[in-house]
């Protein structure tokens, strides 16, 4: 039997630790609440006038509103929040939006919510099979895509596998998993077990899209056709494409593998003649770009203070100029024209 002194001491330590836990809980809660009474829009500050109709984003400023779905309207500076939704990634166009959210708990589940831009009403939802990464809504608001990371599908958990789904936002039904598409390269159908798709971007006709196909360490740009369920490999070394509003160019990130990890440079590819320019930003950027207009792109970069806080930057799409801060405390910008 343990002696009395040891038992008492142990009880004392447990009581002290329990008190500590309660203190931590109370302090953290108070801290969060006091942040609420400050000015909530302090972090999310617009550095340039907004020419677009509306800008949706995930708010990443510290405090109780962290992660909420936010938006800014044309010529206004005050941030509005969606009454209900928090998003890991968001995109909106043509009156509808898709918000990929994480419902944390003992089991973290992931759901994609379809919302109406004018009424904020949640129109429908889709279950996601992993942690959200990218999403895009087609220009007319009829179709959307989501990319999530599905863990455990690859050896020793070192590699990750993705799942990219297409949804019909009018019928509120899934259309297809991109891995069911027929992939064609140089006129021949190819198929491999390690195919992964991510980063869909839609053309205005809402039938055709671009996306990344990764296989055996290579990253290809594919052009997909929804009615025929086919995807044709059209270019190499393209990740997370984003097609320009006029449909002539694709902004993307290009991977460089370094000894210490991976670095991504931003590029714009002209689809007609294959001309490629690097954007004027030396940082490594892991994002799917968004076009502000036909001459400018937007992308998120982690803040120096904490990687949980991100800021949105803007840059010229022709490789000239420099990156400029566009909006503080924001991630996953979606420009609604």
Partner 1 sequence: MYQNDLFERLRANAARSGTRSFRSAISPTVWALGLTSFLTDISSEMVTSVLPVYLFNYLRLSPVQFGAVDAVYNGLSVALIAVVVGIAADRTRRYKAAAATGYGLSAVCKLLLIAAGGTWTGIMAAVGLDRLGKGIRTAPRDAMISLSTSKHDMGLAFGVHRAMDSAGALLGPVVAFAFLMVVGSNSFSGLWLVSFLIAVTGLSALWLFVPRIVQARETADTRNQPFISTVRMPGFIALLLCGTLLAMCTVSDAFLYVLIQEKSNIGFGYVPLFYVATAATFMLFAVSAGKLADRFGLQRIFIMGYCLLVVIYALLLSSQSLSGVLSVACLVMLGLFYAATEGVLMAMASLLIPAGHRTTGLALLLTGVGLGKFTSSLMFGWLWQSGGIDLALTVFVAACVVTVVVSHFVLFRFRHA
The candidate with the shortest Cα–Cα distance to 134, out of 263, 287, 249, 268, is 287
Tokens 């942690």: give the residue. Answer: 131
Least separation, in Å, of the C-beta of 151 and partner 1? 7
319 touches partner 1 by CB under 8 A: no
- Which tokens belong to 287? 């994002």
d(C-alpha 271, C-alpha 231), whole Å = 16
C-alpha–C-alpha distance, residues 178 and 282, integer Å: 33
SS (H, E, C) 184-205: EECCEEECCCCCEEEEEEECCC
Q: Match 């895009």 to its residue by tokens.
A: 136
What CA–CA distance (Å, rounded) separates 315 from 333? 14
Binds partner 1 (CB under 8 A): choice among 61, 94, 130, 141: 130
81 is a contact residue toward partner 1 (CB under 8 A):
no
Of residues 147, 171, 41, the one with CA closest to residue 89: 147
* The dihedral sign for the CA sequence 17, 22, 23, 29: positive
Contact segment (CB under 8 A) with partner 1 among 28-36, 90-98, 221-229, 267-275 equals 28-36
- Applying CB under 8 A, among 47, 104, 283, 337 the residue interacting with partner 1 is 104
Residue 101 beta carbon to partner 1: minimum distance, rounded to whole angstroms: 10
Binder of partner 1 out of 39, 118, 119, 127 (CB under 8 A): 127
29 near partner 1, rule: CB under 8 A = yes
Please report how close the Cβ of residue 121 comes to partner 1 at its closest, in angstroms: 24
In the complex, the smallest distance separating the C-beta of residue 111 from partner 1, rounded to whole angstroms, is 9
Interaction residues for partner 1, span 195-254 (CB under 8 A) = none
Binding partner 1 by CB under 8 A: which of 228, 275, 306, 320? 306
Beta-bridge mates of residue 221: 212, 235
Binding site for partner 1 (CB under 8 A): 1-2, 6-7, 9-10, 13-14, 17, 20-21, 24-25, 27-29, 32, 64, 66-67, 88, 102, 104-110, 127, 129-132, 149-160, 193-194, 261-262, 286, 302, 306-308, 310, 331
């Amino acid at each position: 039997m343990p002696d009395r002194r040891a038992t008492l001491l142990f009880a004392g330590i447990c009581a002290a630790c329990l008190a500590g836990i309660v203190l931590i809980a109370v302090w953290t809660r108070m801290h969060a609440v006091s942040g609420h009474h400050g000015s909530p829009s302090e972090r999310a500050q617009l550095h340039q006038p907004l020419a677009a109709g509306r800008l949706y984003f995930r708010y990443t400023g510290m405090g109780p509103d962290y992660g909420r779905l936010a938006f800014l309207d044309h010529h206004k500076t005050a941030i509005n929040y969606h009454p209900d939704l928090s998003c890991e990634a968001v995109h909106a166009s043509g009156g509808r939006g898709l918000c990929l959210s994480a419902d944390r708990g003992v089991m973290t589940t992931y759901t994609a919510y379809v919302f109406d831009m004018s009424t904020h009403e949640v129109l429908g939802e889709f279950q996601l099979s992993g942690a959200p990464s990218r999403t895009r809504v087609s220009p007319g608001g009829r179709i959307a895509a989501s990319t999530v990371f599905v863990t455990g599908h690859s050896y020793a958990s070192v590699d990750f596998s993705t799942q990219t789904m297409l949804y019909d936002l009018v019928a509120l039904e899934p259309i297809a998993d991109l891995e069911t598409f027929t992939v064609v390269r140089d006129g021949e159908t190819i198929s491999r077990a390690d195919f992964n798709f991510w980063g869909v971007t839609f053309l205005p006709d809402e039938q055709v899209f671009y996306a990344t196909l990764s296989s055996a360490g290579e990253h290809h740009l594919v052009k997909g056709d929804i009615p025929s369920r086919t995807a044709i490999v059209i270019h190499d070394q393209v990740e997370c494409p984003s097609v320009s509003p006029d449909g002539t160019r694709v902004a993307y990130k290009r991977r460089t593998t370094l000894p210490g990890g991976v670095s991504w440079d931003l590029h714009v590819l002209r689809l007609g003649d294959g001309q490629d320019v690097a954007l004027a930003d030396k940082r490594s950027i892991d994002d799917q770009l968004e076009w502000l207009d036909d001459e400018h792109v937007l992308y998120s970069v982690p803040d120096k203070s904490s990687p949980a806080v991100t800021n949105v930057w803007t840059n010229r799409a022709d490789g000239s100029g420099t990156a400029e801060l566009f909006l503080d405390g924001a991630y996953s910008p979606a420009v609604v024209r």
